[in-house]
Structure 1
Amino acid sequence: MRGDESGRPGPTAVPPWRLTRTLTAAIAVDAIAWVWFLIGLLRPTPQWAGWMLLLFAVPIAAVTSWRAGAAGRTFWRYVSAGMIGLGLASAAAARDYFSGDQPGQQIGGLTAMLYIAGLLLMLLGLLRIPGAQRTGMEWTRFGLDVATMVVTVLVFGWYLVLPRWESWTDGSAAGTASVVVVATAAVIGMLAFVKVSFTGTGPIDRRALYILTLTGGVGAIGGAMAPLLAERPYLNIGHVLLPTTSLLVCLAADRQLRATRAGRPASRPLSRRPSVLPYTAVLATGALLLTGAVTRAPDLLGVAVGAVAVTLLVAARQIVALRDNARLLDDLDARQRELTHQAGHDSLTGLANRTVLIAEIDAALTEGPAGVSVALIDLDDFKAINDDLGHAVGDALLVSVAERIAVQLPAGAVLARLGGDEYAVLLRGGHCAALAAITAGLRRPLPAAAHELVVEASVGLAEARAGDTASELIRRADVAMYEAKGQGKGRHVVFDDRMDQRTAEQSRLAADLRSALDTDQLHLLYQPIVAMPGGELAAVEALVRWTHPDRGPIGPAVFIPAAERTGLIVPLGAWILEQACRQAIRWQQTMGAAAPGSVSVNVSARQLREAGFAGEVAAVLRRTGLPPHVLTVEVTETAVFDGGTALDELKSIAALGVKIALDDFGTGHSSLGLLRTCPADVLKVDKSFVDDVTADGPQAVVVAALISICDGMRLRAVAEGVETAEQAARLYELGYRYAQGYFYGRPMPPEDIATYRPAHGPATQLTLSTVADRSTWPALPSGG
């Protein structure tokens, strides 16, 4: 999303007119020429002054047009050469006049040849201008238009020139040469106008060329007026025609120079509006026909009027049809532009899509990787918003996020939506300030339908390197974004190569883990949860372990993050739940009353966000026959802190009769309000607080406060990570009646649970013998 739809700056406007020294000189020479010529109409004036002005006018035009061609536009070099040819022709005409070879306005053969050569050089340059690409039908229409103009000119020539040929030429070769020069100028002017109107101008500035086409018309009209000066032989029409022509050339060349400095002018697309030139020719020919009928054949006047009227009506009908066709084609073009825009933009937010983003990144990398970077922005917990508030609110939030990010972007940045709740930003220049502005902007409440929502976003950024492609840059930003998600919400991370190594390792682990689920490489161990002070078995926690056929044992701290990132945690968690429930049934069958009263299974936040997870738990209980109260689902407080689908699923699981335990309590958001909204039965105090419980410090205060809260809210507190008798004694003194840790037993195979005995029973009781007894709770498995 940038200043215009394409993301690129629009064409630079041509600077306004500014009087340069050459342009000022051309205007001054032309003004002096006209003043001197008007004085000559009133009284005889010396001829040498008029010829001297030409010595200034022609070089100015030639130099200015040569400068306009410096940017590789060869056409202007032809114009410059043509002006030099006209200057040489003027010098030859002056020689003819002062030598007395040609009287009055007539010119000699050499002079005529030089005039025609100069005009033909301009015509040659005009013909070398690249024309617009046309279809066969367009070329046919173009040919007909040109033929119409040529016939019109010939008709006017036949009617106006031929009857007056002898009087104009005076029967001399010099007079004939003058008429030929005038006719050549008229034809070149006509062809130039046709060229500009019908075929385009290529890289030449269109307005500059329009100005230049006036020179042909000026030459033709001025040349036709030459016989009117026959009674004033001391005047020469060239004394004003050439300075005026030079001024027009200077104006056109100056326009080209200014357009070139502002940016290379592009060819204008062909217009669908009907060309006015053929209809102008029809009107002119009709007017000529009526004039001839009035002056020469009055009896044919009615026929002439009827013919002209019919012609005009047919032309009007054609114009109406052409305008309708043009309107239809414009509508088609608008639809095509709309489809093109839709193909490159997201329909919801209007942002660029992946295709446009990749093109923009490639263009930026072509200019050089320095300062180019790509940021991927992914909203945290967006699925919960969709599930809780509905997709209409979710869509409205996505639009608000797009608008909020867009207003934070620096100049030259491109914002795109890649799909879902993922956005991408192409940045040019420093990215630190841009990322800070984006993340800060997203933390402010966003309007979404009738809601005001606060979102967090994980941002990954990759900086371009030499040889990068757009796909590689986006891939690295994606890796950094997942790294940010792994570190927590609302973070941004800049890619480094170590992330690729970790990602590659996690990808390999994920592939092997998928295979492990199908080849019995996984197994469960069970860690006792004991009743204090005696250490009797009250419950167990199921813990997954993996023995890789090549790499040996792989710890859960290594493969669980890979499972989380790739989504394998969902089938892995389902397998753990099924196996743990089946094992609990086997214990009940073999151990009877001595069987663990509860089996705890860890459930990830990703599993809880899957709508219908509670139904899967119910299905496992039905398949295995396990009573619901024997199963305890352990979740971290961060998994349900934001509510939404996770909390709803947890409430549905509790409604089945399954116990809910908050694991690692105190290490996440630690909101006491969570204890009111979450249907928890058990609170497990994290090991980090238990480690220093024997010292007088903040951890001991937290542990003491938590047992008081549990007592008041009728929650069962389990102290995790108990490793020493002193910790056990202190926890019992504070009021804890359940513990878990290496002091009581490490994770063990299911068969060892059947023979479990308190490893430190006697020692623990000795240590605790002096501790005042407090009222105990029923054992965990009692179901109360």
Structure 2
Amino acid sequence: MIVTGADLTSTDERAERVPRRRLTRNLAASATVALLSVVWLVVALFSDDPPLIGWVLPLTATLIAAWGAWRAGTPQTADMPRRYFWRYVAVGVVLIGCGSVSNGYDYLHGGQYTSQVSALTSAIYLCGLLVMMVGLLRIPGTRRSRAEWTRFGLDIATVIVTVLTFSWHLLHPKFANGGLGGTWSALAVVGGGFICVFAFVKVAFTGTGAIDRRSLHLLALTGAVGAGGGAFASLVAAFLDLANGPVLVPVVCLVLCLAVDRQQRAAFQAPPPSRPLSGRPSVMPYAAVLFTGTLLLVTAQDGAEDILAVAVGAVTVTVLVATRQMMALRDNAALVSRLDARLYELGEYQQQLNHQATHDELTGLANRAVLNRDTTEALAADPAQVGVVLIDLDNFKIINDELGHAVGDALLTAVAARISANVPAGTTVARLGGDEYVLLLRTGSTAEHEAALIRLTEQLRRPVSACGHDLVIEASIGLAPAGAGDTAEELLRRADVAMYEAKSQGRGRYVVYAPDMDQRGAEQARIAADLRVGLDTGQLHLLYQPIVAIADGSVYGVEALVRWTHPQRGPVGPVDFIPAAERTGLIVPLGAWILGEACRQAVRWQQELGDRAPRTVSVNVSARQLREAGFAADVAAVLLQTGLAPDRLTVEVTETAVFDDGTAMAELHAIKALGVTIALDDFGTGHSSLGLLRTCPVDTLKVDKSFVDNVTQGGQHAVVAEALIHISNGLQLRAVAEGVETAEQADALYRLGYRYAQGYHYARPLPAAEVGQRLSQPASRLSHSG
């Protein structure tokens, strides 16, 4: 199959060429008719009897123009508004053609002067103009207000009065013999033509979006040619007894065909960029006043008979223009008022933007930018009195997760208000994001700053109401005193270091920055990195310290303790790497490894030793692990994987890990529901130990070594140790004394009522194999010789 270039032409392109070709033919035909009308005029000027065929030309010209306008409004080449407009134009042109037929009838059979038209002819011409005007005003353009429509109407009225005044002055003497009717008919046609001119020009300037501007300009020229030609013909009617229809109508139709052609060409081109309306005032009203005023002066000087009519026209134009001007002044005043209101709103909005740029959106506190600026200014003034404080709420994430972000946001806002109300005057209070607040203390010594922090810490411990919840919170606080040469960024970094130091020491306290904290922080970072490698490469191992019955030294259970042998550093103690693991979050995978390894070893002992195997294996669980939702499920999974019975496992937690911590307490209850034993480690050292016994599902109390060390000397330590064993017995809890190092301590504890203990007196932490060897011996006992 051969494909030609013509075949490649798209249907849309062919559809474009067809109407454009027809419009070009229409333009050529219209130009031919106009040329023939000019020829007719030349012949008529030199002939006593002008050829009657000239009256065929107006009808022919209007039919050609109407056909072109109708084609410009076809669905293939126009959208709906443009289509309707051009069809209105087509109907209007047809009416003008009918008017030309009526005009010819007047010429042949009217018995009047040839330049005059009858009332019927004028009415038909005016109907044609009116139809075009209706089509023009129906074009959807910029939405106009009532005031804009009023101004438009005043402009139309100004044009009407001005045109009628001038037309009356020019035409009145010429129609003295023709009667008043002919005069008014001529005035109506000429006035209507000029009104069309004004309307088309006005719409062209305001824009419609549907009709091409240049096409509207040509339509305005069409009206101008028609109205001007009619006026000119009326003026020369006394000298030339010649009708103007055979010439004027074809020329008008030619200009209209040019407008149609321009519109059609624009329909197949990219639309020109829209021109926004400028604020320049219209000169038409002022020109109307000038022209009618000048005409009034001329007629007054000449003493013309129609001076009264001209004066009335001039006064009417002046009143119309003055009314329009008053409306413009009123609109300008309203615009100025709105502008003032907008400027005021803009000023308020600018203030809001400035506030948002410098303040936290949630709490309204200053942000980091303001904090840095104020800190820099304070350091420049007197660095010796400057201190930067970083406050971090403890366990805020748990509150946010369990009670929802709305409660969390309300809590942050309430804490911000409480901090702002309990700091020294002149303190900048800022929020960095999350649950971190910063204070810039500008005056006072470090001791005074510490005193202020003590008062603030006490205030923060008071319950906070947030969305109906009374919440008890605490905060870890770091204070960084300033010195010469310090910067805002450095002070904030030091406060952050001190805050993390406070967290490592426990909650609800403050710590003052010291240079060695940087070294510890860097060291902990290095340790954490190495620990991650050690955990992955098998550098860690467990030791087990027996828990024995004091009466006979028999092993009741063991506590699993993690140890780390570094390839280069050698043995690294838990006191060094556990804090690093806590701070970095590595304690979670480390704790999971310890739990799994201890459970597997307990199962191996049961398989190897049978009844001699430890009754339970204890595993320490950190606060960070308990705060991980789903920890109880992890414990259940380990028990299932290893095959260890739940009652063979003891989970040891500290008081600080579960005190006032909803997630931790919920996880402990879930672990207890599995059948696992719960032990409260280091009991007696916390500030709310007795309160915990009512809420925490505890089975065992491990009395802290600090109460055991001096139990043989009597006094307060012995009294506390005795009270704790009574509490344990009263609550039916097993009590285990920690850190027993001598036989005397063991004897004293036994007399007080303790039945279980652990410590170096019985055995140091042992490898799993050694524990197995000792337990495999018949009648194995751990006593003073341990």
Question: If the TM-score is normalised by the length of the shorter chain, which range does it land in?
Answer: 0.5 to 0.7
Shift of 1:545: 0.6
| Alpha carbons 2:535, 2:590 under 8 Å: kept | yes
Q: How many angstroms apart in 2 are the aligned matches of 1:320 and 1:452?
A: 54
User: What pairs with 1:154-553 in structure 2 (closer than 5 Å)?
Assistant: 308-321=322-335, 323-324=337-338, 327-328=341-342, 331=345, 334-335=348-349, 337-367=351-381, 369-386=383-400, 389-430=403-444, 432=449, 434-553=452-571
Q: How many angstroms apart in 2 are the aligned matches of 1:614 and 1:541?
A: 20
Q: How many angstroms apart in 1 are the aligned matches of 2:740 and 2:778?
A: 13
Q: Which position in structure 2 is the counterpart of 1:557?
A: 575
Shift of 1:354: 2.6
Shift of 1:368: 5.6
Single out whichever of 697-706 and 595-604 deviates more from structure 2: 697-706
SS in 1 for 2:766: coil
State whether structure 2 residue 709 is matched by structure 1 residue 691.
yes
Task: Show CA shifts across 1:549-588 (max 9, x none).
Answer: 1111111111111212222212211111111111112222
- Report the residue type matching 1:405 in the other structure: I
Shift of 1:759: 13
TM-score by length of 2: 0.56
Single out whichever of 354-363 and 324-333 deviates more from structure 2: 324-333
Shift of 1:524: 0.8
Q: How many angstroms apart in 1 are the aligned matches of 2:534 and 2:487?
A: 36
Q: Which position in structure 2 is the counterpart of 1:669?
A: 687
SS in 1 for 2:383: coil
Q: In 2 relative to 1, CA 491–672 (structure 1 residues): closer, same or farther, beyond 3 Å?
A: closer
Shift of 1:752: 0.8
SS in 2 for 1:529: strand
Q: In 2 relative to 1, CA 488–763 (structure 1 residues): closer, same or farther, beyond 3 Å?
A: closer
Single out whichever of 356-365 and 587-596 deviates more from structure 2: 356-365
**Larger RCO: 1 or 2 (CA < 8 Å, sep 6+):** 1
State whether structure 2 residue 648 is matched by structure 1 residue 630.
yes
Task: Show CA shifts across 1:436-467 (max 9, x none).
Answer: 44334324443322244443322211123333
| Alpha carbons 1:728, 1:764 under 8 Å: kept | no
Q: Which position in structure 1 is the counterpart of 2:155?
A: none
Q: In 2 relative to 1, CA 659–358 (structure 1 residues): closer, same or farther, beyond 3 Å?
A: same
| Alpha carbons 1:745, 1:759 under 8 Å: kept | no
Q: How many angstroms apart in 1 are the aligned matches of 2:525 and 2:620?
A: 23
SS in 1 for 2:507: coil
SS in 1 for 2:711: coil
Q: Which position in structure 2 is the counterpart of 1:163?
A: none
State whether structure 2 residue 720 is matched by structure 1 residue 706.
no
State whether structure 2 residue 658 is matched by structure 1 residue 640.
yes
TM-score by length of 1: 0.56
| Alpha carbons 1:690, 1:722 under 8 Å: kept | yes
Q: In 2 relative to 1, CA 705–365 (structure 1 residues): closer, same or farther, beyond 3 Å?
A: closer
- Report the residue type matching 1:650 in the other structure: L
Q: How many angstroms apart in 2 are the aligned matches of 1:562 and 1:343?
A: 37
SS in 2 for 1:461: strand
Shift of 1:301: 7.6
Q: How many angstroms apart in 2 are the aligned matches of 1:763 and 1:438?
A: 52
Q: How many angstroms apart in 1 are the aligned matches of 2:380 and 2:323?
A: 62
Q: In 2 relative to 1, CA 762–640 (structure 1 residues): closer, same or farther, beyond 3 Å?
A: closer
Q: How many angstroms apart in 2 are the aligned matches of 1:694 and 1:553?
A: 34
Q: Which position in structure 2 is the counterpart of 1:572?
A: 590
Q: How many angstroms apart in 2 are the aligned matches of 1:616 and 1:536?
A: 32
SS in 1 for 2:581: helix
SS in 1 for 2:690: coil
Q: How many angstroms apart in 1 are the aligned matches of 2:563 and 2:738?
A: 19
- Report the residue type matching 1:692 in the other structure: N
| Alpha carbons 1:532, 1:739 under 8 Å: kept | yes
| Alpha carbons 1:396, 1:448 under 8 Å: kept | yes
State whether structure 2 residue 599 is matched by structure 1 residue 581.
yes
| Alpha carbons 2:506, 2:656 under 8 Å: kept | no
Q: Which position in structure 2 is the counterpart of 1:657?
A: 675
Q: How many angstroms apart in 1 are the aligned matches of 2:619 and 2:781?
A: 30
Q: How many angstroms apart in 2 are the aligned matches of 1:765 and 1:503?
A: 42
Q: Which position in structure 2 is the counterpart of 1:107?
A: none
Structure with the greater alpha carbon radius of gyration:
2
Q: Which position in structure 2 is the counterpart of 1:76?
A: none
Q: How many angstroms apart in 1 are the aligned matches of 2:532 and 2:482?
A: 34
Task: Show CA shifts across 1:466-505 (max 9, x none).
Answer: 3333222111111111222233333222212122122122
Q: In 2 relative to 1, CA 621–410 (structure 1 residues): closer, same or farther, beyond 3 Å?
A: same
Q: In 2 relative to 1, CA 712–372 (structure 1 residues): closer, same or farther, beyond 3 Å?
A: closer
State whether structure 2 residue 632 is matched by structure 1 residue 614.
yes
Q: How many angstroms apart in 2 are the aligned matches of 1:659 and 1:405?
A: 42
SS in 2 for 1:672: helix
- Report the residue type matching 1:506 in the other structure: Q
Task: Show CA shifts across 1:110-159 (max 9, x none).
Answer: xxxxxxxxxxxxxxxxxxxxxxxxxxxxxxxxxxxxxxxxxxxxxxxxxx
CA RMSD, 1 decimal = 3.7
- Report the residue type matching 1:660 in the other structure: I
Q: How many angstroms apart in 2 are the aligned matches of 1:414 and 1:697?
A: 50
Single out whichever of 520-529 and 753-762 deviates more from structure 2: 753-762
- Report the residue type matching 2:718 in the other structure: A
Q: Which position in structure 1 is the counterpart of 2:773?
A: 755
SS in 2 for 1:534: coil
| Alpha carbons 2:367, 2:431 under 8 Å: kept | yes
User: What pairs with 1:94-105 in structure 2 (closer than 5 Å)?
Assistant: none
Q: How many angstroms apart in 1 are the aligned matches of 2:412 and 2:782?
A: 61
Q: In 2 relative to 1, CA 339–696 (structure 1 residues): closer, same or farther, beyond 3 Å?
A: same
- Report the residue type matching 1:404 in the other structure: R
Shift of 1:335: 4.6
Task: Show CA shifts across 1:234-268 (max 9, x none).
Answer: xxxxxxxxxxxxxxxxxxxxxxxxxxxxxxxxxxx
Report sequence identity in percent.
Answer: 63
| Alpha carbons 1:744, 1:760 under 8 Å: kept | no
- Report the residue type matching 1:474 in the other structure: L
| Alpha carbons 1:374, 1:462 under 8 Å: kept | yes
Q: Which position in structure 1 is the counterpart of 2:57?
A: none
Q: How many angstroms apart in 2 are the aligned matches of 1:549 and 1:509?
A: 13
Q: Which position in structure 2 is the counterpart of 1:243?
A: none
| Alpha carbons 2:525, 2:580 under 8 Å: kept | yes
Q: How many angstroms apart in 2 are the aligned matches of 1:348 and 1:727?
A: 58
Q: How many angstroms apart in 1 are the aligned matches of 2:418 and 2:671?
A: 38
SS in 1 for 2:725: helix
| Alpha carbons 1:384, 1:644 under 8 Å: kept | yes
State whether structure 2 residue 750 is matched by structure 1 residue 732.
yes
SS in 2 for 1:756: helix
Q: For structure 1, which runs of at least 5 residues remain unmatched after alignment?
A: 1-277, 279-285, 768-784
Q: How many angstroms apart in 1 are the aligned matches of 2:691 and 2:338?
A: 70
| Alpha carbons 2:363, 2:413 under 8 Å: kept | yes
Task: Show CA shifts across 1:510-545 (max 9, x none).
Answer: 222222221212111111112232222221110011
Shift of 1:734: 2.9
| Alpha carbons 2:384, 2:483 under 8 Å: kept | yes
Q: In 2 relative to 1, CA 437–737 (structure 1 residues): closer, same or farther, beyond 3 Å?
A: closer
| Alpha carbons 1:720, 1:739 under 8 Å: kept | yes
